[in-house]
Amino acid sequence: MGNFRRVPVGIVGASGYGGVQLVRLLMDHPEVELVYLGGESSAGKPLADLYPHLAHIINQQIEAVDPETIAGRCEVVFLSLPNGLACKMAPQLLEKGCKVLDLSADYRFSDLTTYTSWYGVQRTDLATAAQSVYGLPELYRDRIAEAQLIGCPGCYPTASLLALSPLLKQGLIVPETAIVDAKSGTSGGGRQAKVNMLLAEADNSLGAYNVARHRHTPEIEQICSDLAGHEVTIQFTPHLIPMVRGILATVYATLRDPGLVRDDLITIYRAFYRNSPWVTVCDPGVYPQTKWAGGSNLCYIGIEVDPRTGRAIVMSAIDNLIKGQAGQAIQCLNIMMGWDETLGLPKLGFYP
């Protein structure tokens, strides 16, 4: 016991929804010590001023963002920042020996021209981006274990790719027929004030947004192409629903073998995810609900086959702030450090 040492970790962007989820989860993680909370506009304020419900358990202040200071105190740094900021900071932190987990889109893309065309940010950190590993453990666990820089997936891609991956990897579908119809709670839009997120605007309403141009589309397509072994185009449509947390992604795709039935696919999915403790494949006829995953790092997958259309229908439910963001980042950290993949992460959600 005398040799026990907690790993010092820091969060840059601790005041947002992703950041405060990281704070909550890391405070309970048995192997880490949260030694730094950083932010720009909130620098100098106690975190409890922004989130009073944490006042009894954490008395740290938000500090100014200085890579030198961060690297001097932290072995691991989570970057929970708007797109286009992590790429300015990550190279400095990596050079000083930190492990970096980026929750923005900056290090999710193997081809930075794709990133620039969708996000409008010119990049000069080509060498840094080349060493990044896409942080979806269910697909890239071995690469994550060896990585110093993780580009943590978006919430929509996490739900969508966990639903699609077995179909593509096993060659069970015609890839170009895949359609992802996804719905997210309002916390996915972050904590900044936005008119469309006002209660009067979002409540009692359901609507699509960024149709045919959502920034998560190329991220989904990149991984689908990797799985299929050739370039794949995916139809992705997101919707905003009047609830706080959760994503439900429903995937439709034409099966190559019209003789496959639901039980065949369930068997295939359970084999594919047999070593994935955070994926639960539902029993036949059971379709997941977002409330089941709320507050946990779990992904629930339900499967159906429509013999009339020859399509597979796969439903995936996650908590967008946990498995879709902070929890998945900590899952990646556990793998990077050689710890149990489930360490410090909630195994059951809040219900009802």
Active site residues per annotation = 155
Alpha helices, DSSP H, located in 170-300? 199-202, 216-228, 262-272, 290-293
Contacts 24+ apart (CB under 8 A), 255-260: 255/172, 255/173, 255/174, 255/305, 255/310, 255/311, 255/312, 256/171, 256/172, 256/173, 256/174, 257/172, 258/307, 258/310, 260/172, 260/305, 260/312
| CA nearest to 323, candidates 183, 194, 144, 135 | 135
Q: What are the φ/ψ torsions at residue 251 (nearest 5 degrees)?
A: -110, 135
| CA nearest to 249, candidates 293, 213, 283 | 293
- Residue type (1 letter), 74: C
Cβ-Cβ contacts under 8 Å for 200 (sequence gap 6 or more): none
Distance (Å, rounded) from C-alpha 52 to C-alpha 1?
A: 35
**CA triplet 82, 208, 297: central angle to 5 degrees?**
55
Whether residue 297 contacts residue 327, with contact meaning beta carbons closer than 8 Å, is answered with yes
C-alpha dihedral over 154, 160, 161, 167, to 10 degrees? -170
Query: Roughly what angle, to the nearest 10 degrees, separates helices 137-146 and 327-336?
Result: 40
